[in-house]
Amino acid sequence: MKKLISIKNIIVSFAFIIVLWQIVFLTSDFNEALFPSPYQALQAFLEMIKDGSIFVHIGTSMYRFGAGYISAIVAAVLLGLVLGWFKGIFQYVNPLVQLLRPISPMAWMPFIVLWFGIGDTPAIVIIFIAAFFPVLLSTVSAVGGINPIYFKVSKNFGIKQPQIMWKVIFPAAFPQIANGIHLALGTAWIFLVAGEMVGAQSGLGYLIIDARNNLRADILLATIIVIGLIGLLLDTLLKWAEKKILKAWGGAL
């Protein structure tokens, strides 16, 4: 029942924006080539499906996204566990992290293109940078926030490093780490498109630039919607996974 209501909400809100879009289209006097109607965007979308190009671009983008996002998670969680455990070291690393974190990954783009050329790598590196810091910081803070009684119990039962890391620290911190991984997803997805707009010859971000260069506003809008929908889908998947994890963890944080 709850699911039905939320589906109803989604349909109503999407229908509302499409109707609004159509009204603006009818009442404004923008050139059709600059401001397509919902129908034209749909036509462009169907056209891309028909020639299969959209799937190729989505596939390329998903590969880059997966590579950058997953490698960032692995690196950030491992480093975060170590830094969370060795608080003394983190005190020296933290200023550096705080300095690097607010820099938009796109600022590194010129260097990235110079070092790695164009193709898959720049987008992967951009996504890596975008996802790395939120996951790192949430992992460090998760380890720092572990209830000290778990350590007391481990000490009592003679559980030492390295076992304590995967038997106690990682599982105890995991729900909060999962939350950080979920938050990083949105940021990483945003920067995928940005990364592909500059350093790539394929993918959804490239499609945007390509549509602009060809003055195909309909393709542009259709692509934008596809990007939004995939982002929504990924977020829903992760939200679902996070819920499952919390349940398996006995609902504890």
Distance CA 177, CA 142 (A): 7
Q: Does 190 bind other proteins (CB under 8 A)?
A: no
Identified binder of other proteins from the candidate list 87, 152, 212, 243, rule CB under 8 A:
152
The number of CA neighbours under 13 Å toward the Cβ of 162 is 2
The minimum distance between CB 175 and other proteins, in angstroms, equals 9
CA distance 15 to 104: 35
Distance CA(198)–CA(44), nearest Å, equals 23
166 binds other proteins (CB under 8 A): no
Q: Least distance to other proteins from the beta carbon of 149, Å? A: 5
Question: CA nearest 227: which of 192, 177, 202, 176?
Answer: 192
162 binds other proteins (CB under 8 A): no
**Identity of the residue, 35 or 150, whose beta carbon is nearer to other proteins in the bound complex:** 150
Closest by CA position to 127, among listed 56, 186, 80, 55: 186
Minimum separation from the CB atom of position 9 to other proteins (A): 31
4 belongs to the binding site for other proteins (CB under 8 A): no
115 alpha carbon, distance to own chain's centre: 24
Both tokens assigned to 84: 């969370």
Binding mask 192-231 for other proteins (x = CB under 8 A): ----------------------------------------
3-state SS assignment for residue 125 = helix
Cβ proximity to other proteins, 21 vs 150, nearer residue: 150
Single out the residue of 18, 25, 97, 171 in contact with other proteins (rule: CB under 8 A): 171
Residue 158 touching other proteins (CB under 8 A) = yes
C-alpha span between 139 and 177 (Å, rounded) = 5
- Pick from 13, 163, 214, 236: which binds other proteins (CB under 8 A)? 163
- 116 part of the interface to other proteins, by CB under 8 A: no
φ/ψ bin of 146: left (φ > 0), alpha (ψ from -120 to 50), beta (otherwise): beta
Residues that bind other proteins (CB under 8 A): 149-150, 152-153, 155-159, 163, 167-168, 171-172, 174, 248-252
